[in-house]
Amino acid sequence: MDLQHWLGRAADAIQDWADTFGPYQQHPSLHVDDGQFASVFAEFTGRLKDNYPFFHPHYGGQMLKPPHPAAVVGYLTAMLINPNNHALDGGPATAVMEREVVAQLATMFGYDTHLGHLTTSGTIANLEALFVARELHPGRGIAHSADAHYTHGRMCHVLGLTSHPVRTDSQGRMDLDALEDVLRTGQVGTVVLTTGTTGLGAVDPVHDVLPLAERYGVRIHVDAAYGGFFTLLAGAGSPEGLPPEPWRAIARADSVVVDPHKHGLQPYGCGAVLFRDPEVGRFYLHDSPYTYFTSTELHLGEISLECSRAGASAAALWLTLQLLPPTLDGLGQILAAGRRAALKWADLIEASDVLELYQPPQLDIVTYFPAVAPATLTGIDAASARVLADGMTSSDPIYLSTLKAGHEGFTA
C-alpha cells in the first residue's frame, strides 16, 4: 500500500463529501499561513525524531505492532470528519462500523450472544468488566493471578473491591490449588484469567477454571488485552499452533477484553470489552439530556462508561478487518509469523553461550537472561541493564525491555 497515495485519496474523498454542503468561509481567526506553518512543522517533525523505531525489526521492546497502513488510512480519513462514537448522533457510519467489528471479535472468541463496544484502552475495558462484576456480585471481590496486569489490583481499589492475588506456577500461570483456597473463603465473585500475561505471555488455564467457577458460583472474566488475537492460532498446525483448550474455553467465560491496539494492528486508542450476556447492559443505564435523539436504538454511549470516543478508531479497525479478517488465514497469518519468529529466537538463545532462555515462549514474548559467572541475581541485573542500554546505542541497534522476575523463578 502506498501510504502517500491513499492519504491523498482520503483528503479528496472527504473534500468531495464536504463540498456537497455548499461553500463557506473560514473565520479569519483560524488562518495560518503556509510559511509560518512550515517553520513550526519543521520543529515539530524534528522533535518527533526523539522516538524509538517501533516500526523496525530492530525494535523488540514492547507488545506493540506498527499500525497497518490500512488502519492509518482508515483512522485519518474518518478523523477528517471527526465522528464521536458516543452516540448515533455523533457519527452514524462509524457507530455501525463499531457494531460490526465488535460482532467480528465476538465471533472470534466463539460468543453466540454478546454485548460489547470499543474502548480507549485495555485498562478501561477491564474497568468496565470489573464494574459489571461488582454489580452482579456486590460485596464479593476479584481473584486474579499474581502475574495479572497491575490494572486489576488498581481498578479493584477504584471500584472499592477487594483484590485477591493468586500464586502462579513455575510457568507463570495461575495455580489452581491456590485459586481454590481463595474460592473456598466465599469472598470472591469473579475470577480474572489472563490469556497472555504482560510479562511472560503466560496463558492461564481457562478450561480448568470453568468447572471450579461453576462449583463455587463465581464468574469468569478473561483479560486477553495482549493475547486475544492469538486465539486465531488455537489448534493450528505446528510450529505456531497453540493448545486450543484455554482459547476455546473463552466462549464460556462471562466477559473478555482484547486490545486491537496491540496485536490487532491498530493505532493507540483501541481496546474492546465483550460480555456474553447482553442483559448486563442494564448496569449501564443512564439518561443524557444532551444526546441520543436521532434513534431509539441503543446508542454505544448507553452501554459504555466512557462518553466521547473516536469514531476514527472504529473506522480504522473496520477497514483493517475487511482486508485482514480475524481468521487463521487473515490476521492469523500475521500472528503466526510473529510466533514463529519468537520460537526461532528462543532456539537461537538456547543454543547460545551468552544468553539463557528464561522460559519457552507461550505466545510471542521471548524471555531470557544473560549468562554471567558467577550466576548471581545482582550479576544478571547488571548485565541485563547493560544489554538494554548498549543495545540502543550500538551502531547496529536493538531495542529491548527488561522484566523484573521473582527470584523463585530462577534455578541459575
Residue ranges in contact with ligand PLP by CB under 6 A: 121-123, 126, 149, 151, 194, 198, 223, 225-226, 259, 271
> What are the CB-based long-range contacts (under 8 Å, 24+) for 384-392?
392/52
CB-nearer residue toward ligand PLP: 179 or 256: 256
Which CB, 149 or 339, lies closer to ligand PLP? 149
**Which one, 98 or 259, has the nearer CB to ligand PLP?**
259
- Name the one residue in this structure whose C-alpha cell is 479528496: 12
Instruction: Give the C-alpha separation, 123 to 305, whole Å.
Output: 12
CA count, 13 A, side-chain hemisphere, 2 = 4
Instruction: Kindly state the smallest distance separating residue 63's Cβ from ligand PLP, in Å.
Output: 6
Which residue do the cell numbers 477497514 mark? 319
CB nearer ligand PLP, residue 118 or residue 232 = 118
Minimum CB separation of residue 265 from ligand PLP in Å reads 14
DSSP label at 276? S
Cβ closest to ligand PLP, residue 242 vs residue 380: 242
Angle (CA) 211 215 218, round 5°: 90
| Cβ-based nearer residue to ligand PLP, 87 or 204 | 204
Q: List Cβ neighbours of 279 (8 Å cut-off, separation of 6 or more).
A: 115
Query: Nearest approach, Cβ of 261 to ligand PLP (angstroms)?
Result: 6
Minimum distance, C-beta of residue 232 to ligand PLP, in the bound complex (Å): 17
Shortest gap between Cβ of 259 and ligand PLP (angstroms)?
Answer: 5
Q: Which residue is nearest to ligand PLP (CB)?
A: 122
Nearer to ligand PLP, 88 or 257 (CB): 257
Least separation, in Å, of the C-beta of 257 and ligand PLP? 7
> Rg (Cα) of the chain, in Å, rounded?
23
Tell me the DSSP string of 72-124: HHHHHHHHTT--BTTSTTT-HHHHHHHHHHHHHHHHHTT-SS-EEEEES-HHH
In whole angstroms, what is the distance from residue 346 CA to residue 361 CA? 7
Q: Are 70 and 1 in contact (CB under 8 A)?
A: yes
**Cβ 243 to ligand PLP, closest distance in Å?**
19
